[in-house]
Each structure stands twice: as C-alpha cells, then as structure tokens.
Structure 1
Amino acid sequence: MDRRFFVRSAGLAGVLSAGVAPAVVQAQANVRWRLATSFPKSLDTLHGGAETFSRKVSELSGGKFQVSVHAAGEIVPALGVVDALQAGTIEAGYSVGYYYFGKDDTWALGAGIPFGLNSRQMTAWMFEGNGLKLMREFYSNYGIINFPGGNTGAQMAGWFRKEIKSAADLKGLKFRIGGFAGRVVERLGVVPQNLPGGEVYQALEKGTIDAAEFVGPYDDLKLGLWQVAPNYYYPGWWEGGPQVDFYIGRKAYDSLSAEYKAIVEAAATSAHVEVQARYDARNPGALKQLVGHKVKVLPFPKAIMDAAFKECEALYAELSAKNPAWKKIYSDLQAFRRDQNLWFRFTEAQFDRYMQSAKL
C-alpha cells in the first residue's frame, strides 16, 4: 500500500499503531516564536532577561523550540508589546505591567506599585501567595498568560538638578517618570513627563525637565546624567520591587505540548532569578563610580516620604471604590504586605541594619 495514502487514511490512531508516529511528532515538535521586549539592547540586564529565556528554551528543548528576541522598536514599539500580543503579531513579550495602566490601573499590580512589596516579597506573593493566580485571572481578559521574569530590586529615585528639601520643592517639578507612578507624584504637585531613555540627557541639559528617574546605578551610569543633574536621590519608593514579566499570547501557549509549557515556565524562572542577581552584583560597583564623579547621593526627607505614602493610600482607596478588579487584587496584596512587613521587621531589617553599620 502507498505509505502516503496510508497516513492520510488511517487517522492518528492508525498512524500510532503502525509505528510511523515519530516522523509526525517530529514535524509538530518544531516551534518558532517571536518575542518583543520593551527595552533597548543597551539595557543588558533587562533585555538580557529575554535573551536568557530564549537560550534556556532552546537548550531544554534540544533546539526544537526557538524564540527570537527583538529589542524595543525592532518589530513593535517599546510600549506596544501587549497590543502586538493581542493582535497576534508576536507570540511572546517581555515587559512591565505598570506601563499599561492606561488600559486598566490593575495592570500595575502585576509589576509593582508605590509603597508595595520589595522584590523578595513580590516573588513570595507571586509563587506562594495568590499573586500569580489573581494576575493570570486578570490577564486572561486580554488573551494573555504571564510568567514572572525578573526584578530590579528597589530602585533609586533618580536625578535632580536641584536638591529637594521639602514637599514644597516638588511643586511644579517637571519629572521624567514612567508608568503608574506618575499618578501618585502628580498628586504631590509634580508634572510627570514620559520620555524614552535616549532623550533624558538632552532634556535635563536644556532644562526641559528638572529631574528624571531610570532604574539604578548600573543602568543610570550609562546615561551620564550626573553631568547635568548631580543630585541622586533614594529610595525610589514607587519601585520597591518591580517585576518584569513574560507575557505570552494564550493561543500560542495553549498550542504547546505539556513538555513545552514546562520548558517555558522553567526558562522564565531562570530569567527571574538571573535578572535580580545581575543587578545586585553590578549596582555596588556602579554606585562607587558615580560617587567618583562627585555625585551627591541623598535620601528623600521623611516628610516627603510621608506625604507620598498618604497620597498613595488615598489613591488606592479611590481605585478600590470604582474598580472591582483593582480592589480584588489589591486587597490580597495589602494583606500579604502587612504580614510580610511584620516578619521582615524582626529578621531581614534588623540583620541588614546591623550589617550595614558594621565595620567590615
């Protein structure tokens, strides 16, 4: 009998029983995805998380599952990742949830909100609390499933041309700040500006903006902002533990075999660990270099932190009153944060304070 006729006629059960399944399975096993990130290649820590994911997927699948990685602007704009996923232009994206708060403020909860969780707490909420379950339920409305893919750890508050000594100094301040945090600083009288990283230096130099936040020493060092805004403030209270996510189109994910789904999860988790490890390892040396450039590393006054915290709580209450999705997820995060801070108060915080004061 003609083998091609046999394969067409017998159906899958017949193919399997006839022992010709390997050729069919092999044909189905090769998968090619395109992944777009929201970051330029120069941010080797963040964009690098996507490269790690791609490499691990290939290694774990024996090269049968390939993910090509595209930096911001190569196939979609930096903030166009979610729209591209929904349109089916790409199968996967690597981005930060608070970029998309314009669609729904609830997106920010999947990344990090002002005075939210630190990086370890965020990971705990995602993997051992209800975070991943709740966010996946929310993202399903957009045809997306997410996998945690990294965290920067607590960020710096950014670069200021003039010192900030009181909340009054924030009034009218033109501040380059991204995402959901702009909602909060606006309530403090700040005028938030949304500029891509490549335009920040020129804007500060010309006085178009008065201050700019980016990430932390390792990434900030590359921008040279100390030359035009020498006051480097901390902490970035709006980004105490911001998480980066792998967003995957639900149709693309559901088409994968169980084995390939497990590979996606394992590769994302590997990137999740690696991204923060890189930041923790590289930020200290970069900070030393910045200090060598005569940068003033300054803490925000407590009065400013208190004012910001008060505005955050008011905003979150307003959102809970009008947005059921926000209320459901934020209430869970809020309870988790309360217990985590109680625990960290007795262990991590005390240990850290002692070690940071010890003469090593």
Structure 2
Amino acid sequence: MDRRSFLTKAAVGGAAAATLATPALAQSTPKVTWRLTSSFPKSLDTIYGGAEVLSKMVSEASDGNFQIQVFAAAEIVPGLQAADATAAGTVEACHTVGYYYWGKDPAWALGAAVPFGLSARGMNAWQYHGGGIDLYNEFLGTKGLVGFPGGNTGAQMGGWFRKEINTVADLSGLKMRIGGFAGKVMEKLGLVPQQVAGGDIYPSLEKGTIDAAEWVGPYDDEKLGFYKVAPYYYYPGWWEGGLTVHFMFNKAAYEGLPKAYQALLRTCCQAEDADMLQKYDSKNPAALKSLVANGAQLRPFSQEILEACFNASQEVYAEMTATNPAFKKIYDSMVAFRADHYLWTQVAEYNYDTFMMIQQRNGKI
C-alpha cells in the first residue's frame, strides 16, 4: 500500500470513528437544567457562594450542557424549607444544613454538626472514609433525597453576649438565640433557647429581648454588627466543631442523570466542600482582628462551663439513642470514629500547632 492510499483510508476511517463516537458523547452529556434553592441569603457570600461555585464548575466541566440555576433563600421557598422543596420535586437541588430539620428527626443533624462532635477535618475523614456519607444517605433516601458534603465552616464561635459568662450559674435564665441540639443541651443548664431569624438578631440584642446570640464566625458575624450591642465574644462553639453544609438532590432526579453527570456532581461537591473551608480559614483572621479593634471582647468559655455542657450533651444523646434507631446507627459510627480521630490528632497535629501558637504569642512569627 502506497503512502497516499494509506493516508486516504486512515482519514476515512478516522472520520467514520468520529461519526460513530458522536452519538455516544451526546448521550453522556445531554442538555440538563436544574434549579437549586439555597438556605442562605446572597449577603453571606462565602456560604451562599458555595452553590454558585458548584454551578460554575458543573457548567464548565460539561461544556455548558449541565446547568444549575442558583436561587437565594426566599426566592423560591424560605431557607428552612429548602430540603422539603427538593424532596417534593419543586426544585431538583438545594444547598442547606441538615440540622435545620432536626425537629422532624434528630438524625438530620448528624450529617451537619452536633455538640462535641468532630472537627472539620474529622467530619471530612469520617464522611469520606469512615462510612458517614453512606450512612447519612441511607437516612436521606427515606426522605426522597441524596446528599453530599458541600462546604464546611470549621469550628464556629460560641456567640455574642451582653454580659460576661463566668460560671454555669450565669447561664440560668439567659435568653439566647440558639437552636437545635445546642439549645436542647443548654436547656438542661437553665438557659432559655430562642428561635430568632438572622435579620432580627441585632434589634433583639439591642432591645434586650434576648441576652445572647450565636451565628457563625468572625467573617460572617462582622457583617451583622453584633459587637455594637453584645460585646463579649465567646469561643469555642462546642455545638459546631466542624459544620458540614450539604448539597441535597431530589433522589429521582439524581438517579435519572447519566452516570457521568452523577460522578461530576459528586466530584464538584467534594471540591466545593474543600473550597468553602479554605475561604473561611483565609477570611476569618482579618475579620477577627477587625472585630477586636472595634471593641469586641474575646472570652473563652471556662472549663467548668465546657464540662457541664459536655455532660449535659451526653444525657441528650442517651435519650436519643434509646428511642431513635436511625439516629443511633449514624451516631454510633461517628462516636467510634471520633475516639480514634482525637487519639491521633493529639499526637502530631496538636503538639505542632501548640508549639507554633506559643511562638506566635511570643512574637516570633
């Protein structure tokens, strides 16, 4: 066969192969448009922005064929109804936090954060490599949902207080904007939990309707100006040692996607899970310095208070595991993982970080 004949046949063969491949490619990347409702307002750019990051990644990776339109809280449904709307098929997806729905079933909270649970790194390790994602999806599947981690705030702050809190007795009768598990734990110590929407927290603190409020951390808290009316800023937020935000998808809609799109969603969710934590870690230091410069008074919760809260949380967990099999199955897995996680992190990580923090306090770094 001469060279010209070979090239001609190769060209024809290549064209035929390309023609045969095109239908398969089209099948794997069809045109799909979804709607996603967020539980967050656009003003919280880091946590709300996570859904926009996911949308952009999915669009770029599918050459624009898979589009996810993002809507802020209340544009389609209120923020605390995001998972309900997704399960019902009103929208195909949401970006939300599992513990918002803990009143329906406490097991919802375990995929997000519970008092004295895991740190951000611990949550990620348990979820991706300790069976956490599968266990949570076993539960979510009964609600018509599929979920994947889609962001983490890291350990949150313990909130803003109008007066100093030095002892457990100081919590008695205190009206605090705090909900979920933390509120139930705090009730055992005499605190009175209050459900207050984000936009109403500042005026409630200013008027004295509430005595304290928790939100997220320095970057988000600074925007709301709490330091002006409740100057004592406590830490840590023991109820959210590593809050996981979730992307949840309507189960039927997710299972109806091509396998390539399902894999793409899982990959992009994991990328955004990492991205959000990186953003908070980069933005919180400057925000904390700014808050202190403007009058915020940093205070650690005393060991007495932390011990009392820990003990109270164990009472709550004992009550829940005794009556809720779904909660117990996920909780037992998380607790077993937590024991080994803190066994390891107290060795290298803790000692390295502690040494470096001492150098920072001594002005050497």
| TM-score, with structure 2 as normaliser | 0.91
Q: Structure 1's 220 and 20: CA in aligned 2 closer, same or farther, altered over 3 A? A: closer
1:82 maps to a residue whose letter is A
Which runs of no fewer than 5 residues in structure 1 stay unpaired? 1-17
Please show how residues 1-360 of structure 1 align to structure 2 within 5 Å: 22=23, 25=26, 29-358=30-359, 359-360=364-365
Which runs of no fewer than 5 residues in structure 2 stay unpaired? 1-18
Q: Distance in 2 between matches of 1:24 and 1:354?
A: 54
3-state SS of 1:147 partner: strand
User: What CA deviation, in whole Å up to 9, does each residue of 1:223-275 have, x standing for no partner?
Assistant: 01111000000000000001000000101101100111111111111111110
Q: Distance in 1 between matches of 2:339 and 2:262?
A: 34
User: What CA deviation, in whole Å up to 9, does each residue of 1:2-45 have, x standing for no partner?
Assistant: xxxxxxxxxxxxxxxx9697399469800010001110001111
2:288 maps to a residue whose letter is L
Q: Distance in 2 between matches of 1:289 and 1:24?
A: 52
3-state SS of 1:222 partner: helix
Q: Distance in 1 between matches of 2:346 and 2:24?
A: 59
User: What CA deviation, in whole Å up to 9, does each residue of 1:278-333 have, x standing for no partner?
Assistant: 00000000000011012110000110000000011111111111111111111111
> Once superposed, what is the RMSD of the aligned Cα atoms?
1.6
3-state SS of 1:114 partner: coil
Number of the residue aligned with 1:8: none
2:173 maps to a residue whose letter is G
Per mean C-alpha deviation after superposition, the further-off stretch among 240-249 and 18-27 is: 18-27
Shift of 1:180: 2.8
8 Å CA contact 2:173, 2:192 repeated in 1: yes
Q: Distance in 1 between matches of 2:181 and 2:71?
A: 25
3-state SS of 1:215 partner: coil
8 Å CA contact 2:87, 2:251 repeated in 1: no
3-state SS of 1:93 partner: strand
8 Å CA contact 1:319, 1:327 repeated in 2: yes
Per mean C-alpha deviation after superposition, the further-off stretch among 93-102 and 180-189 is: 180-189
Number of the residue aligned with 1:4: none
3-state SS of 2:240 partner: coil
Q: Distance in 1 between matches of 2:180 and 2:323?
A: 20
User: What CA deviation, in whole Å up to 9, does each residue of 1:77-121 have, x standing for no partner?
Assistant: 010011101211000000011111011001110001000000000
Q: Distance in 1 between matches of 2:251 and 2:28?
A: 22
Q: Distance in 1 between matches of 2:79 and 2:270?
A: 23
Q: Distance in 1 between matches of 2:43 and 2:29?
A: 36
Q: Structure 1's 350 and 21: CA in aligned 2 closer, same or farther, altered over 3 A? A: closer
8 Å CA contact 1:36, 1:71 repeated in 2: yes
8 Å CA contact 2:146, 2:249 repeated in 1: yes
Shift of 1:184: 1.2
Say how many residue pairs are matched: 343
User: What CA deviation, in whole Å up to 9, does each residue of 1:177-211 have, x standing for no partner?
Assistant: 13332111121111111112111100000001000
Q: Structure 1's 57 and 340: CA in aligned 2 closer, same or farther, altered over 3 A? A: same
Number of the residue aligned with 2:11: none
3-state SS of 1:79 partner: helix
8 Å CA contact 1:174, 1:209 repeated in 2: yes
1:163 maps to a residue whose letter is E
| TM-score, with structure 1 as normaliser | 0.93
Q: Distance in 2 between matches of 1:273 and 1:28?
A: 26
8 Å CA contact 1:149, 1:243 repeated in 2: yes
Q: Distance in 2 between matches of 1:104 and 1:316?
A: 13
Q: Percent identity?
A: 53
